[in-house]
Chain A
Amino acid sequence: MSQIAKHILRFFLFFLVQVLVLNQIELGMGIQIMIYPLFILLLPVDMNVFSLMLVSFALGLCIDALSNTFGLHASSLLAVAYFRPIIFKLFAPRDGYDILFEPNIFTLGTVWFLKTFGLLIVIHHFWFFMLEMFKLNEIIFVLQKTGLSLVVSILICILLQYLFLRKRNSNEV
C-alpha cells in the first residue's frame, strides 16, 4: 500500500517540478531539461508493460496540458515505457532482478544505471526533439539539442537520487 502511495506522490512531484521549475529554465544552446523519464525507471521491475504505458501516457498528457505541447511529452514518454522492459532485459544482472528492490542507482549500481537510463533518455530526447522540429534538414540541431539536454538531464537525475533516495534501503522515499 505504501508502495503505491509512494509512486502516486512521486507522479505529482515529477509533474509539478517539470511544469513549474524545469520548463521555465533556459540554459541556451537549445537545452531543455526533462527528468520525468526517471519516474518511469523507478517504477517496480515486475510492473507489466500495459500499466507502464498507461501510467506514462497519463503523466505525459498532464505535462502536455500545462506546457502547450499538445501531446509531445505523452508520445515520447510512451516510447520510454514501451522500451523499458526490452532494455531491462538487455542489461539484466547475472542472477536477474530482485523484485523487492526498486531499480535505482544504489540497488543496481552506477554502471547499470548509466547504461539503462542513458539509453532510455536518449530514446526519449531524440523522439521528443525529432517530433518537435519534424525536419530532416535540421537533424544536426536536433542531435545537438538531444546530446546537450541529455547530459544535463542525466546529471540532475543522478543528483536527485543521491539527495532523495536512501542507500540500500530503498523501500522509503
Chain B
Amino acid sequence: MRNFLAFIRRFRVLLLFALLQGIALSLYFTFLSFPRSQYMTTTSTLSGSFFEWKHGVTQFFALEENNNSLQKENALLKTQTIESLFRLDNGLVKVNDTLHKVQYEFIPAKVINSTHTKRNNFFTLNIGSEQGIKRNMGVYSSNGVVGVIHFSGPKYSIVKSCLTEKVNIAVMIESTGEHGFLEWDGKDSRRGTLTGISNDSKVVKWSKVVTRGAAGFFPAGIAVGKVEKATVVEGMPLWNVTILFSENYRTVQRVYVIKNLLKDEQDDAESHIPADVVQ
C-alpha cells in the first residue's frame, strides 16, 4: 500500500496528464463516430444561442450571394407553377392523381455556424429534433448538396458537411449513370473527389455530378458539382475523379433538410437481403 501511494506521488503529474488526456481523446473519438449527448457540441442550448447571436451579425456578409441563388431558384419554381402554364382543357376534367405520392418533405433551416479549414467540418443548423430533425437526414441548398445530419439536439443540430473525410453520399455522373462515393481530401474547400468509378468508362470533363438517391438520404438528381479532371488510381481499374463543388461552403446560409417519408419502408425492404449476399 505504501509503495502504491509512493508510486502515485512520484508520477502524479503524469497520471493527471494521462487522465485528462484520456477524457479528451475518448470524447473526441466517440463523438466523431457516434455522438451521444448534446454537450460539447454546438447543438447545446448555450452555444447554440451564442452562435445565433454571432450569426445575427455575420449573416450580412454573404447576403448578396445568398439572395442571388434564392432568386434564381424562385425563378425556376415560378415557371413550374400552375399560373405560368397554359391551360389546355376547359376545367371540366379533374384528375385525382393517384400515381404520385409525396416522398420527400423539405424543412428550411439556416446555417448559424460553420468551419471550412478543419479535416472534418461540421455546420450548425438553427433547428433540431423539436422540428423533426433526425440523424442521417440529407441537407442541401439551392446550389447543391451540403451534407448529412450528424446529430440533433432539441433546438439545434450539426451537419456532417461534404467537407469531411467520409461523408458517404452516393453520387453519380448524370450523363452516364456511373456511381461512386463522395470524399474530401482535406485540402481545398472547392474540390472533392469521387471514388469507385470504373476506368473502362469514359469520364467527360465538366459533366454534371448529381446525387444518386441510393441510401434514401437524398432524392436522385440534386447537384453536387462538375467533373474537373480524372486521374488513374495506380494498381486499380478505377478513376480518381476530382469534382468542383457547385456549392460554395464558405458562404452557404439557407439550406433545406430532407425528410424522406418512405425511408423506413426502404430500410425494411433492404433488411431482407440475405446476409451471405452482402459482400
* Chain A residues packing against B (C-beta within 8 Å): 20, 23-26, 28-32, 49-50, 53-54, 57, 60-61, 64-72, 74-75, 78-79, 82, 131-133, 138, 141
Contact = CB atoms under 8 A, between A and B. Distances in A.
Nearest to B17: A82
A26 to B, nearest CB: 5
Contact of A71 (B40, B120, B158, B189): B40
B148 to A, nearest CB: 15
B28 A57 contact: no
Interface in B1-53: 12-13, 16-17, 20-21, 23-28, 31-32, 35, 39-42, 44, 47, 50-51
Contact of B122 (A32, A68, A79): A68
A31 B186 CA distance: 11
Interface string B42-72: 1010010011001000100000000000000
Q: Which of A23, A66, A78 is packed against the most chain B CB atoms within 10 Å?
A: A66
Nearest to A61: B40
A68 B41 contact: yes
Contact of A50 (B13, B121, B188): B13
Given A50-B12, A66-B50, A74-B27, 13 more contacts: A23-B115, A25-B117, A50-B13, A53-B20, A57-B20, A64-B40, A65-B44, A71-B26, A71-B28, A75-B21, A132-B118, A132-B120, A141-B187
A54 B23 CA distance: 12
B28 A141 contact: no
A66 B51 contact: yes
Contact of A141 (B25, B32, B186): B186
Contacts of A28: 188
B119 A78 contact: no
Nearest to A60: B24
A49 B17 CA distance: 10
Contacts of B189: 26
A70 B27 contact: yes
Interface of chain A: mostly helix, strand, loop or mixed: helix
A28 B58 CA distance: 21
Contacts of A25: 117
A51 B28 CA distance: 23
B28 A131 contact: yes
Contacts of A60: 24
Contact of B158 (A50, A54, A68, A82): A68
B250 interface: yes
Given A70-B31, A82-B13, A30 B115 contact: no
A28 to B, nearest CB: 8
Contacts of B155: none
B31 A71 contact: yes
Contact of B25 (A23, A24, A49, A75): A75
A18 to B, nearest CB: 12
B47 to A, nearest CB: 5
Interface string B164-196: 000000000000000000000011110000000
Contacts of A54: 20
B117 A31 contact: yes
* Of A68, A75, A79, most B-chain CB atoms within 10 Å: A68
B203 to A, nearest CB: 25
A20 B54 contact: yes
B28 A70 contact: yes
A70 B250 CA distance: 21
B16 A66 contact: no
The 3 A-B pairs with the shortest beta carbon distances in the complex, nearest first, are A70-B31, A71-B27, A71-B28
B54 to A, nearest CB: 6
Given A70-B32, A82-B17, A32 B117 contact: yes
A133 B185 CA distance: 10
A68 B13 contact: no
6 contacts: A30-B117, A66-B51, A68-B115, A71-B27, A131-B28, A133-B119
